[in-house]
């Protein structure tokens, strides 16, 4: 997700946080309205886990829907385009576009060379060395992968133990856990350029907050018969380590921002 930063200045983490909090407040109101009107008041992940045979597919669908809610309140760069600007329509709508490239030297850029270059760049998406760059892919971000797998595990656990849905604390526990992936994806979507890195940091912090809330609720469920002893300690260790790794990642993002100032 790439947007303008509204005033032309590079926003820091705290400026982004104020703005994103406003965006989330609007997003939460919209989700609450939709869920209360058409969703029977249930979290959307409950419906999605019934629609998809794969828990990971359900997780991905949930993340995508969550991101769409918030993206609706971020103005795109294209929205800043002034239709009244003095534009040469002959350039935009030239019947013979070839005239625009009369001076272009075909010998400089061979099509095969261009394709080879693009193919040569694709490997970066599969390399962990580029994961904290606009060349990388969130699929190689270990904390995101762990959070997706954790969410899928909980959806499977809920499917096998449907009586857990009668426990409001458990439902909130799952909801908070799923938000970890959503916030990480939202932050990563902004990228790593200096002008948007603050937004990446803020959303990653929100992933950390969600992990902390998830861990806190899990502890209240310890003696409620929701989990076996082994299941509880497995989840506790999983979320605890994920929470710590997210904290380290936030510091890495902050260092990246500070080093570029």
pLDDT tens, residue by residue, 89-143: 443 334 444 444 444 455 555 565 555 444 555 656 666 668 898 889 999 999 9
Q: Residue 135 has what pLDDT?
A: 87
Is residue 76 helix, strand or coil? strand
Confidence category of residue 42, pLDDT binned at 50, 70, 90 = confident
Q: Residue 82 has what pLDDT?
A: 43
Stated pTM of the model: 0.78
- For residue 65, which of 50, 85, 98, 43 has the smallest C-alpha distance? 43
Q: What is the tens place of the pLDDT at every residue in 78-87?
A: 444 344 444 3
Alpha helices (runs of H) in the chain, residue ranges in sequence order = 13-38, 44-51, 55-71, 89-92, 111-122, 142-160, 168-190, 194-220, 229-259
Residue 86's alpha-carbon distances to 8, 82, 190, in angstroms, are: 22, 9, 31
Residue partners of 81: CB distance under 8 A and separation at least 6: none
Q: Which domains are delineated in the chain?
A: 13-76+138-259 (1.20.1440.60)
Residue 254 has pLDDT above 90, yes or no: yes
Residue with tokens 């076996």: 228
Of the listed ranges 45-49, 66-70, 136-140, 225-229, the one predicted with least confidence = 66-70
CB atoms within 10 A of CB 16: 20
Residue 76 has pLDDT above 60, yes or no: no
204 vs 213: CA distance, rounded Å:
14
């Amino acid at each position: 997700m790439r947007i303008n930063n509204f005033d032309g200045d590079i926003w820091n983490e705290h400026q982004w946080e104020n703005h994103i909090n406003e965006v989330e407040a609007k997003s939460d109101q919209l989700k609450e309205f939709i869920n209360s009107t058409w969703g029977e008041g249930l979290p959307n992940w409950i419906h999605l886990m019934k629609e998809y045979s794969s828990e990971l597919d359900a997780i991905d669908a949930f993340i995508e829907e969550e991101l769409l809610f918030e993206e609706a309140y971020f103005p795109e760069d294209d929205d800043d385009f002034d239709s009244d600007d003095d534009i040469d329509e002959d350039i935009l709508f030239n019947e013979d576009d070839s005239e625009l490239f009369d001076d272009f030297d075909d010998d400089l850029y061979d099509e095969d060379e261009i394709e080879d270059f693009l193919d040569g760049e694709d490997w970066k998406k599969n390399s962990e060395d580029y994961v904290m760059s606009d060349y990388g892919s969130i699929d190689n971000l270990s904390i995101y992968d762990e959070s997706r797998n954790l969410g899928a595990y909980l959806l499977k656990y809920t499917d096998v133990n449907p009586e857990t849905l009668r426990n409001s604390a458990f439902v909130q526990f799952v909801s908070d856990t799923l938000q970890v992936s959503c916030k990480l994806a939202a932050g990563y979507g902004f990228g790593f350029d200096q002008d948007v890195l603050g937004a990446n940091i803020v959303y990653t912090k929100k992933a950390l907050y969600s992990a902390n809330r998830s861990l806190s609720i899990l502890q209240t469920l310890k003696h409620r018969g929701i989990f076996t002893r082994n299941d509880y300690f497995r989840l506790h260790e999983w979320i605890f380590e994920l929470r710590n790794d997210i904290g380290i990642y936030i510091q890495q993002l902050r260092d990246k921002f500070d080093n570029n100032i």
